[in-house]
Amino acid sequence: MADHSFSRRDWLKATALASAPLVLGPVSAFAGATVPGKTPPLSAADIAAIEAAMGKKGTYVEAQATHSTSLPRNDLKITIKGEPVPIAFGFGGWVAIKHTLDGKSAMLMSDTVLLQEEVNPLMSAALANGLEIGAVHNHFFYEEPRIFYMHIHGMGAQRSWPRSLRRP
């Protein structure tokens, strides 16, 4: 007598084969219709507005059409297991802003370095201005004071974004 049982592996194979056209069809159709483009550059007025909102100068990389502002935490004196650690060894953040491909919106990404008591105020300001929090985490063990890193991102036409990331 033949065994007609259907194993989990057989079920997964059948499901994958049956759903492949549904999943890959739209992707390949979209990929064929998409033409790789170049991100429109930020204007001098855009850059001036970003720098005014951040309260400091940044760097514009024309080849990437991206404006970046470094956020070093030179105000901190950090030790790990009692040994001093230079700020350049992982205690500097950044904010980068560029246009989206269609040039109608902007995209912001940031990695910020925060003391514990700075996490909630920055998170509240970012969320209130339409930004999203991707992560809050640590890089080190045994550092004093305790340092947190917050990944912030957003997309849209928000002019208030840089100001929400500015330190008082």
Strand-by-strand arrangement of the 147-156 sheet? 59-61, 66-72, 92-99, 106-115, 147-156, 132-137
CA distance 58 to 42: 13
Q: What is the pLDDT of residue 86?
A: 95
Which residue has tokens 């063990």?
Answer: 141
Q: Which residues contact 133 (CB under 8 A, 6 or more apart)?
A: 123, 126, 127, 150, 151, 152
Residue among 42, 109, 99, 45 at smallest CA distance from 71: 109
Q: What is the pLDDT of residue 161?
A: 61
Beta-bridge partners for 92: 72
Q: What is the pLDDT of residue 53?
A: 87
Q: What is the pLDDT of residue 36?
A: 63
Q: Give the CA diameter of the chain.
A: 80
CA distance 73 to 115: 10
CA distance 106 to 99: 4
Q: Using the CB atoms, write b or e for 64-82: b if 16+ within 10 Å.
A: eebbbbebebeeeebeeee
Q: What is the pLDDT of residue 157?
A: 75
Residues in the chain where the model's pLDDT stays below 50: 1-35
pLDDT in tens, 9-49: 443 343 333 333 333 333 333 333 334 678 999 999 999 99
Q: What is the pLDDT of residue 166?
A: 60
